[in-house]
């Protein structure tokens, strides 16, 4: 019974992890840019949700629209204005650039919000569902379901909409896509914006579960990395599988060696994967 | 030859810094030497070989803790510093064999994450490393001025050794092999270059002086903790310095380290709460306006100004 | 003992058989042509021989020693060199430096001076010595092809595999390349040349091996190959090869 509880905890956590990572994976897969700001985007989304609740009474589950929208605009502007100029550049350049931008963003958040951890405390908390001997905290359950819904929505957009098809085409071969009439620059900006949107939305969902602070951005970034490498890069299915897998692995790991080592487990797993199977569970070849 | 002479004169001048009797300047000088050593070291794997390594923090922290632990067992400071360099070198060789087959982003992430893992290990292995509470080092029983001079010369020695190593690598077989690898790794294999051997060697060399610098740093500040010595900024700053000065050159890292520390000190004194943001701005500016570094800018100024372009230079 | 032997060499990618049980020998001093329609497996064969790919099955012997599974740089040092269909220079280095690399690492030149000497020799051989200080990226295509050749010669190879060395060259440049290749063979290097241009293959090669869908379908003199039914069938379709057989029978 204990193991089922741990498994459930892991799955709920994993669903959220997938949502954190899917935007990151998309940007990496399509633009071949690792966006170091991603963790900070998640945190910013959380802050938007927090302030929306505290000042406007908007429930974090609804403010995913707010955070998603705001982050989309930010992401699109950043990409179109700055990052687009270095899209073909060597890995070092794009990594250092997004690192520098993240320093700016993170410092700005620190100054604006201070490093103090905040949590969204709902007036009417959800409580927990108790089934058999299993405890299912409802905020986590709903968070995971919403995260899943969002991810599924993104999948539908990629598969059904014209813009989505263009994004996939650019991911497969940007030159060929350009020859087919796709405005690659705009697709890059859109994709980056969507990546930021998903991060912001994830942040909103997470605001109920994790404490919010600019310091947490590296944790979220680390999760995104591991999920991408674990699940396989550039695909939504990969992010889902990777996220769920990481959640479950961390849950069981916490049982055996303590919850404070969650991130370490993730990173050791990451290194082992990179050494032996960088393409991850789904095996899709990532871009170099 | 004249360049070698001017560099030697430069080193001699820097070595005279203690004469000024200003402890603040001496501290700056020590930091500059440390940054130069880190930047020069990174240049081997990142500049010559073109592999985007973020492992500098891992080597630095490993060196710091090795030095501190060795000193804790009563070993002399100098031996501890040398030992730290060797440990870092050995670790880098092993790590290199594990991750140097990766390219681009994957290599960068792997190298970045190693430092995080080491940080966690240092935080958890309390019996050996003092865990999150950090580790204290034995205090030196000499005057403050004497200490300042000692650590200045120690870091300067490491920096000069690193510079010498860069020069030897640049002009030797290893540097040739690494340059080929950077420009076309598959072709390098085909012309007889054992790419694994040269990459691992370059990676190991890029760790030696970083490890020693870490150990000297630990002795200098008397107290280290994981978040301090394994900080990701320790990996990023040397990269920025080398990009600033000119990657793949021998003097570029030194120039970049100098410019960087001047800017960092100005910002620390005037904008403490913004200093991360200012570093961020510096990086953005660097990427967009000085992509080939200062040496790249100067080179272009010299070649376009002094020599007329010969347009009939067409082969075949 | 043959210089190079392929024994039952296969190489597959997923479900695709790029090479299918290829048996082939190359004797010292030969110029062997390797032809076949696009996708026949010619470049894969070169990749397998030079160590860029491992064979999925089979063995490769060089001077009697098995070399399957060895790393490319080891095979390069043993005396097998190749050129690439899409040239692979070191773009930022000068022509001389480009050639000094194989001289240093494959031919094991003792020091910089020796390497420079060997490199200049190779450059003189391909008549590129005047461009020694040019940056490789600034050469024309013909120049880059010659650079590629010089690099492989600087390895002091016993076997040289040329992968479509004439692609993209005009008629005069091709004649120049042919003369060079003959000179190389005259100097004792065994040459295997992948080519699409029949004029080149027929005039240059003493023997031709034909691949189709990864398998060897013919192995003989140029005369024999040009009349081989299977070869004609592979290039033009079986209608032509059957038609040819009937016409030949009618002539006898």
Q: Provide DSSP, chain B.
A: -HHHHHHHHHHHHHHTGGGG--HHHHHHHHHHHHHHHHHHHHIIIIIIS------HHHHHHHHHHHHHHHHHTT--HHHHHHHHHHHHHHHHHHHHHHHTT--HHHHHHHHHHHHHHHHHHHHH-HHHH-GGG-EE-PPPSS-HHHHHHHHHHHHHHHHHHHHHHHHHHHHSHHHHHHHHHHH-HHHHHHTT--HHHHHHHHHHHHHHHHHHHHHHHHHHHSEE-HHHHT-THHHHHHHHHHHHH-TTSSSHHHHHHHHHHHHHHHHHHH-GGGHHHHHHHHHHHHHHH-TTHHHHHHHHHHHHHHS---TT----
Q: Are C142 and C188 members of one domain?
A: no
Q: Which residues contact B73 (CB under 8 A, 6 or more apart)?
A: none
Q: Which domain range does residue C248 map to?
A: 1-79+160-252
- Give the pLDDT band of residue B41 (cuts 50, 70, 90): very high
Q: How far apart are CA B260 and CA B156, in angstroms?
A: 17
pLDDT (mean) for A29-58? 92
Q: Are C170 and C234 members of one domain?
A: yes
Closest residue of B to C75, CA-based?
B192
**Pair A143, A133: CB distance under 8 Å:** no
Q: Are C243 and C173 members of one domain?
A: yes
- Lowest mean per-residue pLDDT among A122-126, A128-132, C240-244: C240-244
Q: Are C167 and C67 members of one domain?
A: yes
**Strand, coil or helix: C19:** strand
Which residue from B52, B106, B277 is facing A92, i.e. has the nearest CB? B52
Asked whether the beta carbons of residue B105 and residue A91 sit closer than 8 angstroms, the reply is: yes
Instruction: Give me the pLDDT at residue B312, please.
Output: 37
Domain assignment present for B4: no
**Considering C156, C176, C197, which residue would you say is the last residue of a domain?**
C156
Q: Are C249 and C185 members of one domain?
A: yes
Query: What percent of chain A has pLDDT above 70?
Result: 98
- Give the pLDDT band of residue B308 (cuts 50, 70, 90): very low
Q: Are C58 and C22 members of one domain?
A: yes
Instruction: Give me the pLDDT at residue C251, please.
Output: 54
Structure token pair of residue C245: 């057989």
CB atoms within 10 A of CB A130: 9
Asked whether the beta carbons of residue A274 and residue B106 sit closer than 8 angstroms, the reply is: yes
Domain assignment present for A251: yes
**Considering C156, C187, C204, which residue would you say is the last residue of a domain?**
C156
Q: Does B304 touch chain C (CB under 8 A)?
A: no
Sign of CA pseudo-dihedral B173, B178, B184, B187: positive
Kind plus residue range of the DSSP H or E element containing A197: helix A184-206
Q: What is the CATH number of the domain that holds C242?
A: 3.40.50.300
Buried b (16+ CB within 10 A) or exposed e, B120-146: bbbbbeeeebbeeebbebeeeeeeeee
Q: Are C171 and C219 members of one domain?
A: yes
Which residue from B110, B240, B274 is facing A271, i.e. has the nearest CB? B110
Q: Which domain range does residue A257 map to?
A: 2-276
* Tally of helices (H runs) and strands (E runs) in chain A: 11, 2
pLDDT (mean) for C68-92? 90
**Nearest-10 crossing angle of helices A91-113, B275-289:** 150
Domain assignment present for B200: yes
Domain assignment present for B210: yes
Q: Are C14 and C59 members of one domain?
A: yes
Q: What is the mean pLDDT of chain A?
A: 87
Closest residue of C to B195, CA-based?
C73
Instruction: Give me the pLDDT at residue B53, please.
Output: 95
Measure A143 CA to nearest chain B CA, in Å: 28
Instruction: Give me the pLDDT at residue C244, please.
Output: 55
**Pair B279, C107: CB distance under 8 Å:** no
Across chain C, the runs of DSSP E, i.e. the strands, are: 4-13, 16-26, 31-35, 57-62, 65-66, 80-82, 159-163, 190-194, 207-212, 215-220
Q: Which domain range does residue B172 map to?
A: 24-294
Count: domains in chain A? 1
Q: What is the CATH number of the domain that holds B62?
A: 1.10.3470
- Give the pLDDT band of residue B151 (cuts 50, 70, 90): very high
Instruction: Give me the pLDDT at residue B266, please.
Output: 85
Structure token pair of residue C12: 């597959």
Domain assignment present for A282: no
Instruction: Give me the pLDDT at residue B304, please.
Output: 58
**Considering C156, C172, C192, which residue would you say is the last residue of a domain?**
C156
Instruction: Give me the pLDDT at residue A144, please.
Output: 86
Asked whether the beta carbons of residue B108 and residue A103 sit closer than 8 angstroms, the reply is: no
- Does the pLDDT at position B316 exceed 50? no
Q: Are C248 and C175 members of one domain?
A: yes
Closest residue of B to C95, CA-based?
B315
**Pair C33, C185: CB distance under 8 Å:** no
pLDDT (mean) for B273-289? 87
Question: For residue A107, how far is the Cα from the chain centroid?
Answer: 21
Which residue from A85, A103, A218 is facing B279, i.e. has the nearest CB? A103
- Does the pLDDT at position A74 exceed 90? yes
Instruction: Give me the pLDDT at residue B129, please.
Output: 80
Instruction: Give me the pLDDT at residue A285, please.
Output: 47
A164 to each of A161, A173, A191, how far by Cα in Å? Answer: 5, 14, 9
Pairing of strands B135-136, A134-137: unpaired
pLDDT (mean) for C75-88? 90
Q: Are C41 and C141 members of one domain?
A: no
- Give the pLDDT band of residue B310 (cuts 50, 70, 90): very low
Instruction: Give me the pLDDT at residue B46, please.
Output: 94
Which chains does B contact via 3+ CB–CB distances below 8 A? A, C
Chain B partners of A104 at a C-beta cutoff of 8 Å? 276-277, 280-281, 284
Count: domains in chain C? 2
pLDDT, tens digit, 9 for 90 and up, residues B107-145: 999 999 999 999 989 988 888 888 888 888 888 888 888
Domain assignment present for A285: no
pLDDT, tens digit, 9 for 90 and up, residues C32-66: 999 988 888 899 999 999 998 999 999 999 998 99
Domain assignment present for B45: yes
Structure token pair of residue C126: 């391909």
Which chains does C contact via 3+ CB–CB distances below 8 A? B
Domain assignment present for A245: yes
Count: domains in chain B? 1
pLDDT (mean) for A67-85? 92
Instruction: Give me the pLDDT at residue A198, please.
Output: 93
Instruction: Give me the pLDDT at residue C250, please.
Output: 58
Instruction: Give me the pLDDT at residue B157, please.
Output: 95
**Pair B39, B160: CB distance under 8 Å:** no
Domain assignment present for B269: yes
Compute and round to an integer the Cα radius of gyration of chain C. Answer: 19
Q: How far apart are CA A26 and CA A151, in angstroms?
A: 12
Domain assignment present for A287: no
Q: Are C73 and C173 members of one domain?
A: yes
């Amino acid at each position: 019974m204990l193991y089922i509880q741990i498994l459930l905890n892991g799955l709920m956590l994993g669903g959220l992890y997938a949502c954190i990572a899917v935007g990151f994976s998309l940007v990496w897969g399509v633009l071949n840019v690792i966006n170091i700001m991603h963790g900070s985007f998640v945190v910013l989304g959380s802050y938007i949700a927090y302030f929306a609740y505290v000042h406007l009474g908007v429930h974090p589950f609804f403010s995913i629209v707010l955070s998603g929208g705001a982050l989309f605009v930010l992401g699109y502007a950043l990409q179109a204005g700055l990052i687009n100029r270095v899209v073909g550049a060597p890995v070092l350049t794009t990594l250092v650039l997004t690192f520098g931008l993240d320093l700016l963003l993170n410092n700005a958040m620190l100054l604006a919000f201070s490093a103090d951890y905040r949590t969204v405390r709902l007036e009417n908390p959800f409580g927990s569902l108790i089934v058999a001997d299993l405890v299912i905290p409802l905020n986590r359950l709903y968070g995971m379901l919403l995260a899943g819904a969002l991810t599924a929505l993104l999948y539908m957009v990629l598969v059904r909409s014209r813009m989505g098809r263009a994004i996939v085409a650019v991911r497969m071969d940007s030159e060929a896509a350009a020859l087919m009439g796709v405005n690659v620059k705009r697709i890059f900006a859109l994709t980056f914006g969507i990546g930021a949107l998903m991060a912001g939305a994830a942040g909103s969902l997470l605001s109920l579960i994790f404490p919010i602070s600019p310091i947490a951005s590296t944790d979220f970034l680390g999760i995104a990395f591991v999920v991408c490498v674990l699940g396989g890069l550039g695909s939504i299915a990969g992010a889902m599988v990777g996220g769920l897998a990481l959640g479950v692995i961390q849950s069981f790991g916490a049982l055996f060696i303590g919850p404070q080592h969650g991130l370490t487990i993730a990173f050791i797993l990451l290194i082992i994967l990179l050494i032996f199977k960088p393409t991850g569970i789904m095996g899709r070849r990532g871009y170099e | 030859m004249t360049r070698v002479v001017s560099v030697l004169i430069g080193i001699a001048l820097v070595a005279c810094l203690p004469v000024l009797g200003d402890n603040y300047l001496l501290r700056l000088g020590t930091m500059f030497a440390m940054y130069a050593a880190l930047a020069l070291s990174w240049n081997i794997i990142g500049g010559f070989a073109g592999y985007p390594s973020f492992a500098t923090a891992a080597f630095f922290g490993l060196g710091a803790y090795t030095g501190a632990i060795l000193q804790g067992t009563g070993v002399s400071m100098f031996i501890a510093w040398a030992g730290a360099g060797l440990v870092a070198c050995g670790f880098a060789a092993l790590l290199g064999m594990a991750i140097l087959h990766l390219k681009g982003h994957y290599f960068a992430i792997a190298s970045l994450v190693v430092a995080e893992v080491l940080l966690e290990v240092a935080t958890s292995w309390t019996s050996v490393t003092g865990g999150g509470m950090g580790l204290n080092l034995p205090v030196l029983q000499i005057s403050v001025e004497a200490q300042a001079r000692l650590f200045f010369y120690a870091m300067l020695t490491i920096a000069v050794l690193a510079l010498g190593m860069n020069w030897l690598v640049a002009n030797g077989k290893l540097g040739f092999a690494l340059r080929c690898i950077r420009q076309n790794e598959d072709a390098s294999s085909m012309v007889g270059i054992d790419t694994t051997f040269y990459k691992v060697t370059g990676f190991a060399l890029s760790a030696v002086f970083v490890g020693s610098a870490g150990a000297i740093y630990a002795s200098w500040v008397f107290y280290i903790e994981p978040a301090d010595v394994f900080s990701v900024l320790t990996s990023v700053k040397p990269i920025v310095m080398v990009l600033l000065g000119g990657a793949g050159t021998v003097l570029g890292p030194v120039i970049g380290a100098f410019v960087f520390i001047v800017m960092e000190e100005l910002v620390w004194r005037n904008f403490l709460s913004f200093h991360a943001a200012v570093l961020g701005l510096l990086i953005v500016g660097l990427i967009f306006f000085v992509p080939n570094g200062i040496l790249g800018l100067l080179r272009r100024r010299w070649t376009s100004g002094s020599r007329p372009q010969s347009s009939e230079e067409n082969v075949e | 003992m043959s210089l190079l032997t392929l024994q039952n060499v296969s190489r597959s990618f997923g479900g695709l058989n790029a090479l299918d049980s290829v048996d082939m020998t190359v004797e010292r001093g030969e110029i062997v042509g390797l032809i076949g329609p696009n996708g026949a497996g010619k470049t894969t064969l070169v990749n397998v021989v030079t160590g860029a790919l491992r064979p999925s099955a089979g063995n490769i012997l060089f001077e009697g020693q098995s070399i399957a599974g060895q790393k490319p740089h080891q095979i390069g040092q043993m005396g097998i060199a190749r050129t690439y269909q899409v040239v692979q220079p070191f773009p930022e280095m000068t022509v001389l430096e480009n050639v000094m690399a194989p001289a240093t690492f494959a031919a094991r030149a003792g020091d910089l001076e020796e390497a420079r000497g060997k490199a200049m020799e190779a450059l003189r051989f391909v008549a590129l010595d005047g461009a020694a200080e040019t940056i490789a990226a600034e050469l024309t295509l013909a120049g880059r092809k010659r650079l590629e050749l010089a690099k492989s010669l600087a390895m002091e190879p016993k076997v040289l595999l040329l992968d479509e060395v004439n692609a993209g060259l005009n008629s005069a440049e091709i004649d120049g390349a042919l003369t060079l290749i003959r000179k190389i063979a005259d100097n004792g290097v065994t040459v295997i040349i992948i080519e699409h241009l029949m004029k080149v293959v027929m005039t240059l090669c003493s023997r031709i091996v034909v691949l189709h869908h990864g398998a060897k379908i013919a192995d003989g003199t140029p005369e024999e190959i040009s009349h081989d039914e299977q070869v004609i069938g592979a290039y033009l379709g079986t209608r032509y090869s059957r038609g040819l057989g009937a016409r030949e029978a009618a002539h006898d």
